[in-house]
């Protein structure tokens, strides 16, 4: 066996896990580890400009690739800077391993320089965490961290390692465990066949069914099975914000996103359904509106790998706990065998109703000759990229417009912070996507508010030549805040505008060594968009001025049912 220092063990364990790239920022408590990184080949380190961005980049890498993202940060402020990124990953169940340096063992608890109890700080936002006590435990702990992060309902796992454990002066025998066994952690590997049978029987009696699928289908690599199921059943399918792309946005049976800013047809269909087949979703408040009024006539089947998601917000009739891919595969098998079929006339009538709803609203918006609407920007982006780009997003109106108007064809094409709603996520996440898919076209849809929350990453993008296309939907205000202020606070725009303090984004981009393109008029947009995407190897920052008064519609009305929506500024259901 080889003798390795703790720092070398960390690097070697990552290699043994198949890790090729990590995202991080050096500092005192991790210097031994950085020295070990320097002296090896095989793992590339991406130096971000703020640890929050390292976490978002690792998260974006994971979302785009399905692999575990890895973050390395130092103790104290390095570790606390990752907190927002960890919480973002936790809320969206993204597998991630965060390695933080800690002050040396005998200083812990003494308020040492750059000491923070990061295990304590992050306790509510990690799937699990470890503080390593002995150098010999490093390989097994890292093995456990990857295993926990990537199995069951995935999530971030933090490993805190005191500096003395990584010292080059002390070496130990290294071996990487082949398997992990934890008596207190047992993942469900198979859904209950009897429950699946019950679900299939119920599905065959449905007259107004809706398939409601979410991020679990993307994370569980089950999109192809979902697509088969949707086609086999002939049911309409809606995706959550996290589930977009699991069924192609161009599929005839796709009725759009549902929820707070879901399509009219998706929300109406949910409300009037007699059966909801919920797959890899968690009945989030941004979907259900008031839970007591949620889908009053529907029986609900819920498939999820996490038993705690079942009947948490909404009581369900047939729970199926298991990995989404396994359950869907068995459901398809059982469907193949059954002679039962849905009442075709009823299903036809249901589709007729849904088509009528679709025709009624269908994400209509009005254009103006002199100023762009944000929706036009997304539609142009979709055309110019042939609907093929990986789109990362920040948080706000632009995020909702991107979700509504970009028709995602495949899973892992739409990368956004759905659960936590983290502004500043988009740009670093795009860097992670480019590490995962170096040949892909990656665009970050953002706003002038969100982009300023991690704009320092423009420097990282230059250093590593990440040719992100930044689509800055610039409405010169915090658009979603402003929309709520318009709708609920009689238009009092409290702290949602910048009083002429916006930077010149073009000059700023150029200062960082990139290309900037400014668009102010509707007729300039398409050509500018084409020009931006023709610059394959460059980061291009498109600063696109849009109508600040535009609102996102539909918008569910608080405390109502799913069908209670504003459809535009003056019309409600």
Known catalytic residues are: 51, 113-114, 163, 480
Binding mask 193-232 for another protein (x = CB under 8 A): ----------------------------------------
- Residue selected from 3, 170, 187, 308 as contacting another protein according to rule CB under 8 A: 308
Do the strands 299-304 and 275-279 form a parallel or antiparallel pair, or are they unpaired? parallel
- Residue selected from 28, 35, 104, 128 as contacting another protein according to rule CB under 8 A: 128
Pick 308 or 359: Cβ nearer another protein:
308
Binding mask 130-149 for another protein (x = CB under 8 A): -x----------------x-
- Evaluate whether 479 touches 485 at the Cβ level (below 8 Å): no
Give me 414's structure tokens: 């739409």
Pick 129 or 561: Cβ nearer another protein:
129
| CA atoms of 514 and 491, how far apart (whole Å) | 37
- Site for another protein contains 120 (CB under 8 A): yes
Return the range that interacts with another protein (CB under 8 A); candidates 45-53, 118-126, 343-351, 440-448. 118-126
Return the range that interacts with another protein (CB under 8 A); candidates 301-309, 406-414, 452-460, 540-548. 301-309
Return the range that interacts with another protein (CB under 8 A); candidates 94-102, 116-124, 215-223, 364-372. 116-124
Least CB distance from residue 37 to another protein, whole Å?
28
Least CB distance from residue 270 to another protein, whole Å?
22
Least CB distance from residue 185 to another protein, whole Å?
5
Return the range that interacts with another protein (CB under 8 A); candidates 306-314, 398-406, 444-452, 463-471. 306-314
Pick 123 or 341: Cβ nearer another protein:
123
Least CB distance from residue 88 to another protein, whole Å?
17
Pick 124 or 369: Cβ nearer another protein:
124
- Residue selected from 296, 307, 362, 438 as contacting another protein according to rule CB under 8 A: 307
Do the strands 540-545 and 469-474 form a parallel or antiparallel pair, or are they unpaired? parallel
Output b/e per residue, 358-386; b: 16+ Cβ within 10 A. beebebebeeeeebbbbbbbbbbbbebbe
Q: What are phi and psi of 425, to 5 degrees?
A: -80, -35
- Evaluate whether 46 touches 21 at the Cβ level (below 8 Å): yes
Contact partners, residue 282, CB within 8 Å, separation at least 6? 214, 304, 309, 312, 313
Pick 308 or 356: Cβ nearer another protein:
308
Least CB distance from residue 197 to another protein, whole Å?
24
Contact partners, residue 292, CB within 8 Å, separation at least 6? none
Taking only Cα atoms into account, the Rg of the chain, rounded to an integer number of angstroms, comes to: 24
Cα dihedral sign, 396-399-403-405: positive
Q: Scan residues 173-192 and list those touching another protein (CB under 8 A).
A: 182-185
Least CB distance from residue 184 to another protein, whole Å?
4
| CA atoms of 51 and 40, how far apart (whole Å) | 23
| DSSP line for 433-496 | HHHH-TTS-EEEEEETTGGGGSTTHHHHHHHTT---EEEEEE-SB-HHHHHHHHHHSTT--TT-
Least CB distance from residue 351 to another protein, whole Å?
36
Return the range that interacts with another protein (CB under 8 A); candidates 59-67, 283-291, 305-313, 419-427. 305-313
- Residue selected from 192, 231, 286, 312 as contacting another protein according to rule CB under 8 A: 312
How many residues line the site for another protein (CB under 8 A)?
Answer: 20
φ/ψ region of 218 (left if φ > 0, alpha if ψ in -120 to 50, else beta) reads alpha
Pick 83 or 260: Cβ nearer another protein:
83
Strand positions, DSSP E, 42-165: 44-47, 69-73, 96-102, 128-131, 156-162
- Residue selected from 5, 93, 116, 129 as contacting another protein according to rule CB under 8 A: 129
| CA atoms of 564 and 260, how far apart (whole Å) | 10
Return the range that interacts with another protein (CB under 8 A); candidates 115-123, 207-215, 235-243, 438-446. 115-123
- Residue selected from 306, 317, 486, 547 as contacting another protein according to rule CB under 8 A: 306
Cα dihedral sign, 102-104-105-106: negative
| CA atoms of 256 and 19, how far apart (whole Å) | 36
Pick 126 or 395: Cβ nearer another protein:
126
Pick 127 or 271: Cβ nearer another protein:
127
Pick 23 or 130: Cβ nearer another protein:
130
**Is the bond preceding 2 in cis, omega lying within 30 degrees of 0?**
no
Nearest CA among 311, 259, 299, 284 for reference residue 557: 259
| CA atoms of 236 and 491, how far apart (whole Å) | 38
In the complex, the residues that contact another protein under the rule CB under 8 A are 119-120, 123-124, 127-129, 131, 148, 182-185, 306-308, 310-312, 315
């Amino acid at each position: 066996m080889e003798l390795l220092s703790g720092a070398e063990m960390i690097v070697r364990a990552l290699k043994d896990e198949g890790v090729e790239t990590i995202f991080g920022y050096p500092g005192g408590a991790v210097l031994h580890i950085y020295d070990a990184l320097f002296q090896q080949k095989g793992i590339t380190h991406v130096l971000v400009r703020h640890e929050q961005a390292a976490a978002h980049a690792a998260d974006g890498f994971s979302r785009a690739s399905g692999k575990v993202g890895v973050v390395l940060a130092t103790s104290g402020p390095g570790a606390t800077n990752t907190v927002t990124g960890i919480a973002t990953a936790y809320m969206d169940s993204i597998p991630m391993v965060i390695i933080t340096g800690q002050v040396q063992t005998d200083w812990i608890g003494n308020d040492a320089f750059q000491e923070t109890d990061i295990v304590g700080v992050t306790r509510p936002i990690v799937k699990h965490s470890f503080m390593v006590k002995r150098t010999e435990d490093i390989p097994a702990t890292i093995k456990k961290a990857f295993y926990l992060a990537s199995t069951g309902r995935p999530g971030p796992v933090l490993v805190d390692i005191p500096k003395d454990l990584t010292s080059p002066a002390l070496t130990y025998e290294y071996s990487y465990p082949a398997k992990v066994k934890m008596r207190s952690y047992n993942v469900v590997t198979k859904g209950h066949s009897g429950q699946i049978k019950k679900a299939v029987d119920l599905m065959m009696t449905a007259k107004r069914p809706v398939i409601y699928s979410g991020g679990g289908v993307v994370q569980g690599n089950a999109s192809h099975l979902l697509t088969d199921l949707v086609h086999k059943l002939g049911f309409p399918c809606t995706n959550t914000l996290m589930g977009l792309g699991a069924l192609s946005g161009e599929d005839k049976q796709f009725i759009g996103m549902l929820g707070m800013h879901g399509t009219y047809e998706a929300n109406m269909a949910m409300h009037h359904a007699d059966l909801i087949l919920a797959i890899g979703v968690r009945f989030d408040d941004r979907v259900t509106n008031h839970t007591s009024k949620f889908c009053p006539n529907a029986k609900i089947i819920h498939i999820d790998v996490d038993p705690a998601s079942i009947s948490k917000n909404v009581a369900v009739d047939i729970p199926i706990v298991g990995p989404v891919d396994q359950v869907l595969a068995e459901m398809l098998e059982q469907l193949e065998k059954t002679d039962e079929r849905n009442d075709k006339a009823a299903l036809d009538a249901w589709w007729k109703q849904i088509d009528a709803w679709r025709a009624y609203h269908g994400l209509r918006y009005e254009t103006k000759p002199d100023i762009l609407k944000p929706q036009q920007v997304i539609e142009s982006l979709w055309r110019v990229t042939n609907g093929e780009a990986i789109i990362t997003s920040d948080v706000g109106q632009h995020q909702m417009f991107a979700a509504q108007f970009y028709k995602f064809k495949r899973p892992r094409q739409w990368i956004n912070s759905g659960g936590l709603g983290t502004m500043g996520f988009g740009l670093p996440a795009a860097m992670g996507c480019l590490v995962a898919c170096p040949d892909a076209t990656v665009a970050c849809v953002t706003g002038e508010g969100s982009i300023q929350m991690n704009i320092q990453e423009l420097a990282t993008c230059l250093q590593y030549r990440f040719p992100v296309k930044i689509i800055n939907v610039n409405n010169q205000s915090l658009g979603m805040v402003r929309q709520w202020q318009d709708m609920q606070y009689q238009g009092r725009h409290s702290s949602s505008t910048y009083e002429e303090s916006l930077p010149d984004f073009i000059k700023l981009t150029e200062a960082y060594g990139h290309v900037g393109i400014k668009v102010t008029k509707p007729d300039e947009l398409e050509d500018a968009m084409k020009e931006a995407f023709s610059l394959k190897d460059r980061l291009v920052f498109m600063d696109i001025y849009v109508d600040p008064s535009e609102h996102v519609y539909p918008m569910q009305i608080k405390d109502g049912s799913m069908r209670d929506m504003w459809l535009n500024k003056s019309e409600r259901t």
